[in-house]
Structure 1
Amino acid sequence: MTDETPARGDRIAKWLARAGVASRRDAERMLTEGRVRLNNAVVTHPATFVEPGDIVQVDGAVIGAPERTRLWRYHKPDGLVTTHRDPEGRQTVFERLPPGMPRVVSIGRLDLTSEGLLLLTNDGALARRLELPSTGWLRRYRARVNGRPDPAALAALAKGVTVDGVRYGPIEAGLDSVRGDNSWLSLSLREGKNREVRRVLAHLGLHVSRLIR
């Protein structure tokens, strides 16, 4: 016979993320703020493990054990913010979800005036993993811009570009059509930094009037 060390559960921040309470980073902040209890004792160390049967509370509310990981595709319309609480009182994506949806977090974000595919999950740890640039997911966009882009300038984006001191990776960009004063572009990129498409195209002198992922 051999001695085996009993398997421990998840670290508490990961457990909270999997339960859909918050991202792991936000869960770690909750720990430092003393908002999390395990079996009625305030958690003081992030290396605390949650095992089956343990009772976890956040702000006094008991948190149910994580469900199986699920992923949803959501078509975000123009005019919604991708946040759970907006200090300006604007309507959020999460306020418009169908009744009966569990608490979910978004994988990445789309800004207020952007629309299209947004991935949602009940597993905050999965969201964090998929958001990492090293994951290398290909993101495709269609952008309507004012004016007629220079094909050579679009092609040069394949080598990456630096805008206001920020380095953006390769972007495959092409002109789809021209309709009056507007042009439609297709773009593919893997980094997905904050407002990347809008900032890069503005660098080329192009104002984005509609952006669809």
Structure 2
Amino acid sequence: MNAPAHARKPRPPRRDEPGSAAAIPQDARPGADADATAERGERIAKWLARAGVASRRDAEKIIAEGRVKLDGKLVTQPATFVQPQDIVTVDGQAVNEPERTRLFRFHKPAGLVTTHRDPEGRPTVFERLPEGLPRLISVGRLDLNSEGLLLLTNDGALSRRLELPANAWVRRYRVRVFGDLDPRALAALAQGVTIDGVRYAPIEAGVDSRKGDNAWLTVALQEGKNREIRRVLSYLGLEVSRLLRVSYGPFQLGTLERGGVDEVNPKVLREQLGLAAPTRRR
């Protein structure tokens, strides 16, 4: 005889059913984020990254250098926790509490270095930004003589996510070169190449136009080693006279004017990066 309906024990949901633990994203489960709890607060390295001071890894370096204080006391451990009422300073300057994640497109002109402080006194990207923006860090770098799309964000964790080669964000460039161009050598880059003991991952390179010893190429890669394109093309006997990044993942340079800044719509961030919509404060 079947047990009465009221006496039956409820069947636990299958792992793939709504409401099962497996069906709930890890970061949505209670206690999933040990860094941020009501009792302990948030680890200061992560807090600094979300505040746009630096990536979490670089925030740990800043802490190790003795540049961070919490309520006036020197912080020596990146595992130190921050509460909402705490005051955090870096190099003596108060850091504002992290706000919602924001991402900006910047059309970097040649002649700017991608750093906040340059020991040689050269002009920096951040000195060229208009007033009123939050504290920003770059997603990767463009070297002094390179130009084009540079992504800027106030969230160090997002910067790290976009930079990691494992996440396979494609960077695409237009490159003007001079020299004896061999299309077969360009095609061979798709297998990767080792130069002076450094292994470079596969690179897609094609010829867009050619006139004499000058040519325009389109180059695409999924990692960004220092001066990678210049070094690889130099290895092929080509001199780079102009290097312009035109896209980074789904984000395009488009018609953004040189030196211009444009914020990526929050809806686009949610759709392209899966970021949660900001919560409204009550």
Report the TM-score, using the length of structure 1 for normalisation. 0.92
Partner of 2:51: 19
1:163–1:203 contact (8 Å) kept in structure 2 = yes
Q: Which letter maps to 2:150?
A: L
1:148–1:178 contact (8 Å) kept in structure 2 = no
Counterpart CA distance in 1 for 2:160 and 2:42 is 16
Partner of 1:175: 207
The unaligned stretches of length 5 or more in structure 2 are 1-29, 32-36, 246-282
Report the secondary structure of 2:60's partner residue.
helix
Partner of 1:71: 103
Deviation at residue 110 of structure 1 after TM alignment:
0.4
Counterpart CA distance in 2 for 1:27 and 1:116 is 27
Report the TM-score, using the length of structure 2 for normalisation. 0.70
Which residue of 101, 107, 114 maps to 2:139? 107
Deviation at residue 148 of structure 1 after TM alignment:
4.0
Q: Which letter maps to 1:35?
A: R
Counterpart CA distance in 2 for 1:70 and 1:180 is 45
Deviation at residue 127 of structure 1 after TM alignment:
1.0
Counterpart CA distance in 2 for 1:112 and 1:61 is 28
Which residue of 159, 162, 165 maps to 1:133? 165
Deviation at residue 52 of structure 1 after TM alignment:
1.8
Which residue of 109, 113, 133 maps to 1:81? 113
Partner of 1:58: 90
Q: Which letter maps to 2:201?
A: G
Counterpart CA distance in 2 for 1:205 and 1:113 is 19
Partner of 1:33: 65
Percent identity of the aligned residues? 72
* Structure 1 runs of 4+ with >6 Å offset: none
The unaligned stretches of length 5 or more in structure 1 are none
Deviation at residue 39 of structure 1 after TM alignment:
2.8
Counterpart CA distance in 1 for 2:75 and 2:159 is 24
Alignment map for 1:156-175 (pairs within 5 Å)? 156-175=188-207
Deviation at residue 120 of structure 1 after TM alignment:
0.1
Aligned pair count reads 210
Counterpart CA distance in 1 for 2:92 and 2:115 is 23
Partner of 1:202: 234
